[in-house]
Each structure stands twice: as C-alpha cells, then as structure tokens.
Amino acid sequence: MKKVRILSIDGGGIRGILPGTILTHLEKRIQDLTKNPDAKIGEYFDFMAGTSTGGILGLIMLCPDENGGYRFSAKDALDLYLDQGDEIFDVSIGEKIKRMGGLRDERYSQKELERALLNYFGEIRLSQSKKPCLVTSYDMRNRKAHFFTSSDAQSEIHDFYFRDVARATSAAPTYFEPAHVYSIFGTPHTLIDGGVFANNPALCAYSECRKLDFKTLLDDQEKPTKPSAKDMMIVSMGTGSVKTPYHFKEFKDAGLIKWVQPLIDIMMSGNSETVDYQLAKIYSTLSGKNCEDYYRIEPKIINASSDMDKADLRNLKALHEDGKLSVMAFESQLDEIAQKLIKNA
C-alpha cells in the first residue's frame, strides 16, 4: 500500500519565501531523480494544506492548466513573492501617516494582493483543484473556524474561486482588511487569516485526510481509504523560526497597544510549535519505519528580518538567501523526502 503524501505550509506573510525556496529545491531534486525536467511538485503530493501565505503557495501549486495538467511549479509560486512582494506590502509615507502604522486602519491596501491573485488564478474554482486540499480561515460573523476544502467544494454552496480562498486565508488582522467573499452559490462570508487559530495547519490536514477515500479521489487502487497515521507521510513546513525575547520589565505595565504585536508573534509561533509537538507524539507511537514519516522543516532566519511585512528588495533577497541556507541545513532530510515522494507516487 502506498502512503498518502501530505504537504502542510504555515502562515508567515512575506516569509513564505522560505518554504517557497525549499520547495523549489525539492522539486528540482525530484526532477533529477525521475529524469523528468517537467515534473512539478504538485504531482508528488496527494494532499496540501496551508494557512495564509502557506495557503497561497499551496493553491498555486494545485492550479490546473487548460490541458488538465499543473499550471505552476514551485518556482512559479516563489516568484509571486520575489517579483511582487514589494508591491503587495507597499505603502506611501502619506498613507502610513494616515493609517498611523496600522493603529487607525489596516497597514496595507488589499488591491495589489487581489490583483496578483487574479493574475495567478483567474476564474479557477476550489472544486477544480488538482489534488485534495484544505485552506484555513476564520469566519468573523459566525465566530467559527472556516475550512476551505476541495471535498466540500463539490457543492456550489462550499465552492469558491481560488483567488477568494487565497484572499481570505491571508487577510491578517491589522495588515489587510477582512475578506468579504462569496461562494459560487452566492453566499457571503466575512473572513480573516486562518493564522489566528491554526498557523500550522498540519494537524488540520491529518484530521481531514482521515475521512477521505484516496483510492477513489486519486483513482489509485494502491492508495488507502480513510488513512490513519501509519498510512500517511506528512511534510510540514514553517516560515522561519525566530524567538524574539519579551522581558518582564518591558511588559509588567504594558497596555493594549504594546501587547498587540507580541501577541500576534506569540500566538503564531506557539500554535506552530504545539501542532509539531502533537504530531511528533502521534508518530512516535507507530511501529517500525512508520514513525519516520513525519517531517517538520523549520527554516532559520539568519540574514533577513522576521517581520511578516518587510518586503523591500534588500529583505526579499535576504529571505531568499536564508531559504537557500535552510536547503543546505536540511539537505539530507529533503533528499530522503524526495525519494519517499517518488516511491509512493
């Protein structure tokens, strides 16, 4: 029986360059091993999950072309950030003053982001995703987690345009205004970034995959139906580990304004670490080599800023460089992952 190959990508704004760089290397490694220069990363995963920037990366890699193939490579996904990141996170001095750095209004206009998403996705719908997927968001009006899934999207009530899914999952509070999107059926939704509850969506991916019939979905009799952990290979990618210390003296009398940014940072990193802990424990209970099929690839930020919105050309280059350094640091694991992905194709 073949394993279900799962890719999960964390949220992290412009730091999506880090997993994008690593996935570009992984894709190239697969091309070399299969001697197929046209192989795309989407072909070698059976399920993808993403939050915020991770959701955008995943959707790009699952986008179909007009012939039913994969429209974009991992490099194409990375290029969205390298080529347009400075425009998406751009604000004039006048606007910065008017918005008071995010205190009076969101920091950035959503227009450039929406333009980039429209250029990449056009009219593609979630129901047309090349592989099963899950993208996280949060429903403000109904106060509940919202999961965009390709399995639910077979109904127009739960089907959405790719561009709207990407906009909703990346509507980070204080950075962009909430996303007001409509299902294909016409139901309105007001949604914000899934990072508020699941910055690391790997456990959401695990839970979703437990109910799916991959044998039928992928038309592959060697894939399992309703797989458990022993039937899954999970590759979970972070967007850069940085631990900014917060000291008692600085925060013992801190008010709302001072706590906003640290809370976002702590919430995101704390969630990612907790999910990693939970999955590592789940896999540690498995016998034989099954316990070795969970990978957490967390790149380190060495030269770049850890700010999610620092997208000047210098920092874009520094993030790309840190991504390449992470490839070197995880080279043996990535080679192992590539071989397992091919083996379970």
For 40-85, how does the pLDDT look when each residue is reduced to its tens digit (9 = 90+)? 999 999 999 999 999 999 999 999 999 999 999 999 999 999 999 9
pLDDT value at residue 91: 55
pTM for the model stands at 0.94
Q: Which of 239-253, 256-270, 315-329 holds the top average pLDDT?
A: 315-329
Catalytic residue among 164, 193, 293, 309: 193
Q: Identify whether 52 is a catalytic site residue.
A: yes
Catalytic residue among 8, 46, 52, 86: 52
Name the helix (H) or strand (E) containing 49. strand 47-51
10 Å Cβ neighbour count for 173?
A: 17
Q: Higher model confidence: residue 189 or residue 174?
A: 189
Q: Which residues contact 201 (CB under 8 A, 6 or more apart)?
A: 8, 9, 10, 49, 50, 51, 54, 134, 135, 136, 194, 275
pLDDT surpassing 80 at residue 143: yes
Q: Which residues contact 37 (CB under 8 A, 6 or more apart)?
A: 31
Q: Identify whether 193 is a catalytic site residue.
A: yes
Asked whether the beta carbons of 132 and 97 are under 8 A apart, the reply is no
Mean pLDDT, the chain, as a whole number?
A: 93
Helices then strands, each counted (H, E), the chain: 13, 8
Torsion of CA 101, 138, 149, 113, to 10 degrees: -20
